[in-house]
Structures are given as C-alpha cells and as structure tokens.
C-alpha cells in the first residue's frame, strides 16, 4: 500500500514472505460442495499478545523473556518494548472504547473528504460526503461538466457526482462508464491522506497538492502518544497522516516507511476495528519477523532503528472467535449508526501520523 516494497520470485523465499504466507487468510472449498468456503485454521501460538503481557504485569509484575516494561516519567499508560527491536514501543489499550468510536467516525466521515486524497481520487476525481451517500443509498455517476476548474483549492471539478438513481453515465470522449454504488466505494476505500499529501506514483510528499492541516485533536493525540519515543525536551510535530482501510481479505505487505527526513522522529500508529496480526522484521527481508496481535485501541511507535525494520499486516480477523470488537460494536447503537456497525464488523482502520521534516 505504501513504503518501499519488493516483488517477484525472490520475495517468495525470504523469511518475511514465509511469515506473511503463514498468517494470510486462506479458504478452501470442499470438493463437490455448494457450501461456503471454509477458513483454514492458523496456528497463532507464536504471536505476542500484549494484552496478556499487560494483564500478567499488573498481576505479578513480570514480563515474558525478550519483553520489558518501558518507564516514561509523566506518561500514565503502560509501555512495552522488545529487547531485540530498539525503537519499537507498544502501548496496549491506549484508547478508550469511546475514543475508538470517535476516530472510526472521523476516519469514515471526515478523513476521506477533499482536498484529502484517497485511492478513489485518481479514478473519479474528488468525492465528497461518501458516508452520507452510503447512508442514503446513492450511486456515483459521471458529472456533465467534468473539465471545469474549481476556484477553491485549485482542484478539478468532480468527474463523478452522487445521484439518487443508478444510471449508466457517459464521459465525453471516453465512451460509456457504468455507475458505482456508494456502498461499493466505501468497501473499496483503501487509503486517505491528511496534512501533507503523499504522491504514491513518485513516492514523496507533494507540497504543491491542496491540503488541509491535520485535525487539531488528532495532532494533540499524536503529540501525547509520541512522548515515550521523543528525546527529552523535544515535541513531536505531526505534519502528515496516512489512513489505511482494511477489508476482510486485505493485507499490507512488508515495507519500510522511508520517505520522512528524520527517522529519529516516530511514526505514531493507531489501530481501530477488527484485531490483526502485525509482523515486525529486521533490516533485511531475510530476518525472521516477530508476530504480534494488534487490537482496537492499541498504539505502536516506531523510531530510530525500528524505522529500518520491514513490517506489515498479513491478516485481519473478522470471525467471532478472534475479531474482539463486540465492545466497540455495542457503542454504535442508533439507527443512524448502522453503516458504522456494518463496517466495523469486518474491517480495520489504521491511522499513522508522521513528522515529515
């Protein structure tokens, strides 16, 4: 989805790729059966469970071998680190359920709003009020005047607009283009960018692209959570954020986040929604990665040497046994929350905030 990734046959033989394949979601169809494909069971016994680590520490003050409690004066939340991964910090249960609900709402309502760019922008142009369109069961169709410039934000007029009815649309000079349901667009939303906009084709931040500042409450949260990874007397300066949206079968391949100028400044990564497996490797794909669970409300920090480590998310869990999102779902109780309930049942959102310069 982003960062430096490698491909081809060589990656199939690396330790990181083997770990990805181990945890990836696989389904099998019984021969001559009309039943739904069966999800193959995965051995999860090696994955670090930081919630269990926290509970054990609170009970008897101990931690498993290779894990230690990090002391940060003035920081109220528990922090755990890995002895062999300097610069990696895990803050379990960092957000309350109410805070998680707030950031899920923001991730679906506000963060995809123009001038923020999403994976849909290159195809459809700027799309406004996607979640509202989903709630009203609208359809995206081609706009009649798609080549007119908007004065505000120096953005192109939308090539597509939402309509009440499903009609095939015609784009001048491009032939017919079928309409798309807003609900389909939400399910296919994979990323949005806040603050400084990331140019995926050039793999850099493009200061010429229209942008809004990162919301103040998200900046304050990132500054607060980054404290354990910052040098004494320094304050984290949020300048950009990438929001990743995961569906049931989605994964984030092993990569490095290497486009920021100063790797001594952390990436603040917030997990929301369904539980996931996170892989943290080393400086080479040949290094065997450590696997761990990421639950809704967990926050991880990566700075210094950890910024040089390959990492990824090979799996999210949507089944009742492993998703662990029932408390979160119970907070979306109103009829107007139906879209959030449907989304959270089978999705994960990751907000990662960066200091670019």
What pLDDT score was predicted for residue 84? Answer: 95
What integer pLDDT is reported at residue 25 of this predicted model? 79
Residue 148: the pLDDT is 43
Q: Which residues pair with 273 in a beta bridge?
A: 348
Residue-level pLDDT, tens digit, the chain, 357 residues: 444 444 455 556 899 999 999 999 765 555 555 566 656 688 999 999 999 999 999 999 999 999 999 999 999 999 999 999 999 999 999 999 999 999 999 999 999 999 999 999 999 999 999 999 999 999 999 876 544 444 344 455 567 889 886 544 444 434 445 689 999 999 999 999 999 998 877 788 988 888 999 999 999 999 999 999 999 889 999 999 999 999 998 999 999 998 898 999 999 999 999 999 999 999 999 999 999 999 999 999 999 999 999 999 999 999 888 889 999 999 998 888 999 999 999 999 999 999 998
Cα 223 to chain center, whole Å?
Answer: 19
pLDDT of residue 201: 75
pLDDT of residue 164: 81
Q: How far is CA 29 from the centre of its chain?
A: 30
User: Binding site: what residues are annotated?
Assistant: 255, 257, 311
- Give me the residue label for tokens 């990824």: 312
Binding-site residue positions for Fe cation: 255, 257, 311
Helix (H) or strand (E) holding 350: strand 348-354
Q: Rounded to an integer, what distance in angstroms lies between the CA atom of residue 30 and that of residue 58?
A: 46
* Cβ atoms of residues 228 and 89 within 8 Å: yes
Give the per-residue pLDDT at 42. 87
Give the pLDDT of residue 207: 87
- The pLDDT value recorded for residue 316 is 96
pLDDT at 336: 83
Question: pLDDT per residue over 68-98, tens digit each?
Answer: 999 999 999 999 999 999 999 999 999 999 9
Q: What is the pTM of this model?
A: 0.89
* CA–CA dist 230, 236 (Å, integer): 7
Q: How many residues are there in the chain? A: 357
Q: Are 312 and 253 in contact (CB under 8 A)?
A: yes
d(CA 233, CA 243): 29
The C-alpha angle 88, 89, 93, rounded to 5 degrees, equals: 145
Q: What is the dihedral of CA 277, 279, 285, 288, to 10 degrees?
A: -100
Helix then strand then coil, in percent of the chain rounded to 5, is 25, 25, 50
pLDDT at 150: 43
């Amino acid at each position: 989805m982003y960062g430096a990734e490698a491909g081809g046959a060589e990656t199939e033989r690396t330790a990181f790729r083997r770990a990805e394949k181990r945890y990836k979601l696989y389904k099998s169809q019984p021969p001559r059966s009309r039943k739904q494909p069966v999800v193959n069971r995965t051995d999860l016994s090696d994955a670090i469970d930081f919630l269990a680590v926290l509970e054990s520490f609170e009970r008897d003050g101990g931690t498993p071998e290779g894990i230690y409690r990090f002391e940060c004066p003035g920081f109220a939340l528990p922090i755990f680190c890995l002895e062999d991964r300097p610069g990696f910090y895990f803050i379990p249960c960092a957000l309350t359920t109410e805070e998680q609900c707030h950031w899920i709402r923001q991730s679906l309502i506000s963060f995809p709003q123009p001038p923020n760019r999403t994976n849909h922008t290159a195809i459809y142009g700027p799309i406004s009020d996607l979640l509202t369109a989903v709630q009203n069961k609208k359809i995206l169709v081609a706009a009649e005047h798609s080549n007119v410039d908007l004065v505000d934000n120096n953005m192109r007029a939308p090539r597509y607009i939402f309509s009440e009815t499903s009609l095939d649309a015609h784009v001048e000079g491009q032939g017919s283009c079928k309409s798309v349901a807003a609900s389909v667009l939400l399910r296919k939303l994979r990323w949005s960018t806040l603050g400084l906009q990331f140019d995926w084709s050039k793999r850099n931040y493009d200061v010429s692209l229209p942008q809004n500042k990162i919301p103040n409450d998200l900046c304050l949260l990132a500054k607060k959570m980054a404290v354990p990874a910052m040098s004494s007397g320094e304050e984290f300066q949020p300048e950009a954020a990438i929001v990743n949206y995961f569906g049931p079968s989605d994964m984030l391949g092993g990569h490095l986040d290497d486009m920021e100028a100063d790797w001594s400044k952390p990436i603040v990564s917030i997990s929301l929604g369904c539980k996931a497996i996170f892989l943290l490797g080393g400086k080479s794909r040949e290094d065997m990665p450590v696997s761990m669970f990421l639950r809704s409300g967990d926050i991880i920090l990566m700075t210094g040497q950890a910024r040089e480590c390959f990492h990824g998310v090979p799996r999210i869990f949507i089944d009742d046994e492993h998703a662990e999102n029932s408390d979160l779902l119970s907070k979306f109780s109103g009829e107007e929350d139906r879209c959030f309930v449907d989304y959270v049942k089978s999705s994960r959102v990751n907000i990662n905030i960066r200091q670019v310069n």
